[in-house]
Structure 1
Amino acid sequence: MNRRKFIRQTCLGCLGGGIVPLVLTNCQSTHYATGTIEANGIVVPVSEFTYLKKEQTVIRPYILVQNDTLEFPIYVYRFSENEYSALWMKCTHQGSELQASGDHLHCPSHGSEFNNKGTVSQGPAEKNLKSFPVTVSDGKIKIDLRQS
């Protein structure tokens, strides 16, 4: 094998190996759930985290809760059956709507990133995301919008 052919094959392999994980991560579609507004916040069924795939129940790691009365969606991440985080999807840098990508949120405007608990992992944002208390009971996830 000559040098040129070796470099071409090696570079293509490296590029392909770096792109495959990104493509696979983005193959999982984001699930939007419409929450019901109640006196103290918004409610969504726990069942929004599950779906059937080839006759097996699969659990989503996160959902985006929306309602016409909300300016931005709420990212709800599932840590366990009874532990969730609920984060306002508004970047603390300049107020752009964030994009969910698995266990983190990304700001398309200036590149800030936040983890699934709302902590800044990459600037320019300096403040963590607004989070809401979450309780689980009777098959419902209740997000208290009064507090942060």
Structure 2
Amino acid sequence: MHRKDFIRKFGYLAVALPASTYLFNSCAGLYYASFVEEDGALRIPKSEFLQEKGGKQIEREMVVVQNRSMGYPIGVFRTPDGGYKASLMRCTHRGCELSIAGSTYSCPCHGSEFDRSGKVLEGPAEENLRSFEITADSENIYVHVS
């Protein structure tokens, strides 16, 4: 192998490997919940927050709802007090779709970060995410989108 070919092939690898690691880590654990749209709300069964892991049933910290009419997904996080917070996964800086890293929303375009309730943690975004009212009954949560 010639030096030029070696540099080209391993140069691509040096760039692609860290990028793919970031991509796979940001997608790990992301769960798209099923829902029904009714009367201006998205009805999500609370069972969507449960998963079986290692033979045990555990609760997911968050789920994503892919509602096409909104244009962007909605992230729904469980709060420590047993409630829920829902935010549109659209960056308020330039409109890029957000990813979820741990318990924060992260913008892949310019690096803005938001907490699980949609509040800006890191700019350049200056406005909080669009959030939605949530109500619940014994079996479902309702994300009021209208």
- The TM-score range, normalised by the shorter chain, is 0.7 to 0.9
Written as runs of structure 1 = structure 2, the 5 A alignment for 1:1-148 is 28-80=28-80, 82-146=82-146
SS of the residue corresponding to residue 92 of structure 2 reads coil
Structure 2 residues without counterparts, runs of 5 or longer: 1-21
When the two structures are superposed, what TM-score results if normalisation uses the length of structure 1?
A: 0.77
Structure 1 range deviating more: 63-72 or 85-94: 63-72
- Where has structure 1 moved over 6 Å in runs of 4 or more? none
SS of the residue corresponding to residue 33 of structure 1 reads coil
When the two structures are superposed, what TM-score results if normalisation uses the length of structure 2?
A: 0.78
Please tell me the root mean square deviation across aligned C-alpha atoms, in Å: 2.0
Structure 1 residues without counterparts, runs of 5 or longer: 1-21
Q: Answer yes or no: is the 8 Å Cα contact 1:46–1:140 preserved in 2.
A: yes
Q: Which has the higher strand share?
A: 1
Q: Answer yes or no: is the 8 Å Cα contact 1:113–1:120 preserved in 2.
A: yes
Summarize deviations over 1:93-142 as a string: whole Å, max 9, x none.
01110001121000000000000010000000000001001111031010
